[in-house]
Amino acid sequence: MATRINKYLSEVGYCSRRVADRLIKQGKVTINGQIPEIGTKIEEGDQVEVKGQIIQKSMKEKNIYLAFNKPVGIVCTTDRRLEPDNVIDFINYPKRIFPIGRLDKPSEGLIFLTNDGDIVNKILRARNNHEKEYIVCVNRHINSDFIQSMSNGVEILDTITKNCFVKQLGPKKFKIILTQGLNRQIRRMCESLGYRVRSLKRVRIMNIKLDVPTGKYREFTKEELLELNELLINSSKTYD
């Protein structure tokens, strides 16, 4: 059965579909020696190469799911050439994996890494309302007006953020649960209200909680993976 080239590359664990599309646009993918278009399908027996490396179905291995506590200063990218502080070199996992989503360089906390391209596409779709929980410290005292404003939505990036759960934990500390994934969303929300983020830590993604020391990772438990798949069961994929 014919398979889209981006889906094929995610199924064999080479990269996510999004990254595959980027590689195709850059002309780094060939099918039988020809550069394909995005959406091109491959058949059994076709030879797929990425950057001159032959990609075979036999490359497919058991799916890997890691929960990693990213330190401040590490960048969530697979570009090891251009970013020396990348997450892949830091973890130094023996098999090919890639991060699901991003956690910016000044932030710390939970991020998933996997070789399963399909789960990446499901989790990244913001419309699926998947919860992400953060603990944030800002530069000055917060009050009920700040909590209410953050909860009800703040104007950033030419849009109003979705309503969200916010709870004050201390004079300058709060918890926030988002179902959106706007670029540097929490930092921008705080800045729009006259605050500056001093520290930001993600402590939960959906049903997976952060429970490993900074710089360490662990595999998902069978129970966590089962529950995660149940939460994703109604999630639509990015591609058909």
Nearest to 75 by CA among 47, 26, 122, 108: 108
Counting beta carbons within 10 angstroms of the beta carbon of residue 141, is it exposed (0 to 12), middle (13 to 18) or buried (19 or more)? Answer: exposed
- Nearest Cα neighbor of 186 from 206, 215, 164 is 164
The residues that are catalytic are: 104
Closest CA to 126 of 164, 158, 73: 164
Nearest Cα to Cα of residue 31 among 47, 53, 18: 47
Q: How many CB atoms lie within 10 A of CB 45?
A: 6
- Alpha-carbon distance of 214 to 212, in angstroms, equals 7
**Residues 147, 213: Cα–Cα separation, whole Å:** 29
Rounded CA-CA distance 164/148 in Å is 10
Cα 206 versus chain centre, distance: 12
